[in-house]
């Protein structure tokens, strides 16, 4: 079994450079605990990210990793899963990466039900670039890019996910590591696109949505909640101003993208190889 120590990168001279107290530390710990509990093989576990503070995660979890471009986390993760669907694929983005520049990929990965776990570090600002407003910044908040306050209504990403076709939609909190770990474990067991939006305090640039702000509002989704009830899930996803539910809002069994490809039933795309592929006739068509 892979231990937390095996997953640590400090031994190989790499340790997180996040600000002290940043919510990303809680997400990192929950991620390592989940990989350990699931007994995943680090070599066959891939953590893909974009660019941002949260997306530095692949640098600090000792599994296979790929840091792509800002907003392009999901197409890279989807490509990896398509090329070798035997890999355990996790993707990690900031709220800007996922719900701003990457929105188009977010929507299409969900409607395709690509089998992966997507963890979004939602700190409601662009942390790495020093605190500009993001699509989830609350209305009225003063940031470097909105000195007179945000005038737009924030996106509700979990509502978006439920109506777009994600088959596992959950919310965690970086200040509750055991609960977040259990969500990551459940999301990994789910077959299909699993979104976990994580409330992640940015202690440097978001002085409104602090640990205390969240602690006063979060509560656990009731054990009576039926996650296959889409309308009830939407009601949970729309809660924000007074109370914020933590847990699995929605879950549904549906064929994954790979299930729809009979070519992948026996072997991975990667195993097909390209040695015997003759592209000469195709090239001729373009002469
Ligand atoms: C195509 C492109 N546009 C913009 C940037 C600059 N940039 C890097 S990270 C970032 C925002 C990060 O915010 P978020 O995704 O919320 O992650 P956080 O840093 O808050 O974890 C921006 C705008 C970039 N690197 N590439
Ligand atoms: S800027 Fe915010 S999100 Fe980035 S490391 Fe610092 S506290 Fe964390
Ligand atoms: Mg952010």
CA 287 to ligand 1 centroid distance, Å: 42
Average pLDDT over residues 90-106: 98
Instruction: Check: CB of residue 48 under 8 Å from CB of residue 42.
Output: no
DSSP tag of 100: I
The H or E element spanning position 92 is strand 88-94
Model confidence pLDDT, tens digit, residues 77-86: 999 999 999 9
Is the CB–ligand 2 distance for residue 106 below 6 Å? no
**How far lies 21's CA from each of 47, 67, 139, 194, in Å?**
23, 23, 25, 27
Counting ligands in written order, which one lies closest to the CA of residue 54?
A: 1
The residue to mutate among 51, 127, 210, having the most atoms of ligand 2 within 8 angstroms of its beta carbon, is 127
- Residues 193 and 202: their CA atoms lie apart, in Å, by 26
The two tokens of residue 43 are 């070599």
> pLDDT digits over 162-213, tens only?
999 999 999 999 999 999 999 999 999 999 999 999 999 999 999 999 999 9
Q: Which of 171, 170, 202, 181 is nearest to 52 (CA)?
A: 202
For the beta carbon of residue 216, count every other beta carbon within 10 angstroms: 11
Whether 106 shows a pLDDT value over 90: the answer reads: yes
Q: Ligand 2 pocket: which of 51, 54, 123 to mutate (most atoms <8 Å of CB)?
A: 123
Share of the chain above pLDDT 90, in %: 95
Show the beta-strand stretches assigned E in 127-175: 132-133, 168-173
Predicted local confidence at residue 254, as pLDDT: 97
Q: Give residue 275's pLDDT band: very low, low, confident or very high (50, 70, 90).
A: confident
DSSP 257: T
Backbone φ, ψ for residue 269 (5° rounding): -55, -40
Check: CB of residue 19 under 8 Å from CB of residue 9: no
Map out the domains of the chain as residue ranges: 4-285
Give pLDDT tens digits for 108-163. 999 999 999 999 999 999 999 999 999 999 999 999 999 999 999 999 999 999 99
Give tens-digit pLDDT for 36-53.
999 999 999 999 999 999
Output the residue whose Cα is nearest ligand 1's atom 20.
Answer: 127
- pLDDT band of residue 11 (cuts 50, 70, 90) is confident
**Ligand 1 pocket test, candidate residues 71, 76, 97, most atoms within 8 A of CB:** 97
Tens digits of per-residue pLDDT, 247-269?
999 999 999 999 999 999 999 99
The pLDDT tens digits for 58-79 are: 999 999 999 999 999 999 999 9
pLDDT at 13: 84
**Which residues does a 6 A CB cutoff place in the pocket of ligand 1?**
51-54, 70-71, 94-97, 121, 123, 125-129, 134
Assess if CATH 3.40.50.970 describes domain 4-285: yes
* Contact (Cβ atoms closer than 8 angstroms) between residue 81 and residue 75: no
CA 274 to chain centre: 32
Beta bridge partners of 125: 133
Burial class (CB in 10 A: 0-12, 13-18, 19+), 7: buried
Nearest ligand, measured from the Cα of 206 = 2
Residue 143: the pLDDT is 95
Q: Whose CA is nearest to atom 6 of ligand 2?
A: 19
The pTM of this model reads 0.96
Q: Residue 90 in contact with residue 55, Cβ under 8 Å?
A: no
Closest to 87 (Cα-Cα) out of 107, 63, 105, 113: 63
Q: Which residues surround ligand 3, an ion (CB under 5 A)?
A: 94-95, 123, 127
d(Cα 187, Cα 184) in Å, to the nearest integer? 5
Helix axis angle, 230-237 to 157-164, nearest 10°: 160
Say yes or no: CB of residue 155 within 6 Å of ligand 2: no
Is the CB of 209 inside a 6 Å radius of any atom of ligand 2? Answer: no
């Amino acid at each position: 079994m892979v231990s937390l120590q095996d997953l640590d990168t400090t031994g190989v001279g790499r340790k997180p450079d996040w600000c002290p107290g940043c919510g990303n530390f809680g997400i990192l710990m929950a991620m390592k605990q989940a990989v350990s509990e699931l007994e995943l093989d680090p070599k066959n576990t891939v953590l893909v990210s974009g660019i941002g503070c949260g997306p530095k995660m692949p640098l600090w979890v000792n599994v296979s990793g790929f840091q792509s471009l800002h907003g392009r986390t999901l197409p890279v993760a989807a490509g990896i899963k398509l090329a070798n669907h035997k890999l355990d694929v996790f993707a990690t983005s900031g709220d800007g990466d996922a719900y701003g520049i990457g929105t188009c990929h977010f929507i299409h990965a969900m409607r395709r039900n690509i089998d992966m776990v997507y963890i979004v570090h939602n700190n409601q600002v662009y942390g790495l670039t020093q605190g500009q407003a993001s699509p989830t910044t609350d209305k009225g908040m003063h940031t470097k890019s909105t000195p007179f306050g945000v005038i737009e209504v924030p996106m509700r990403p979990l509502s978006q996910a439920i109506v777009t076709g994600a088959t596992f939609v959950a919310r965690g909190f970086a200040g509750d590591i055991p609960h977040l770990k259990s969500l990551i474990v459940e999301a990994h067991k789910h077959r299909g696109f699993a979104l976990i939006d994580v409330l992640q305090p940015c202690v440097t640039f978001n002085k409104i949505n602090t640990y205390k702000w969240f602690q006063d509002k979060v509560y656990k989704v009731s054990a009576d909640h039926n996650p296959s009830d889409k309308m009830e899930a939407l009601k949970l996803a729309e809660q924000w101003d007074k109370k914020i539910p933590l847990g699995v809002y929605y879950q549904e069994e549906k064929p994954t993208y790979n299930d729809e490809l009979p070519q992948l039933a026996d072997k991975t795309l990667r195993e097909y190889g390209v040695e015997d592929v003759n592209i000469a006739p195709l090239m001729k068509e373009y002469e």
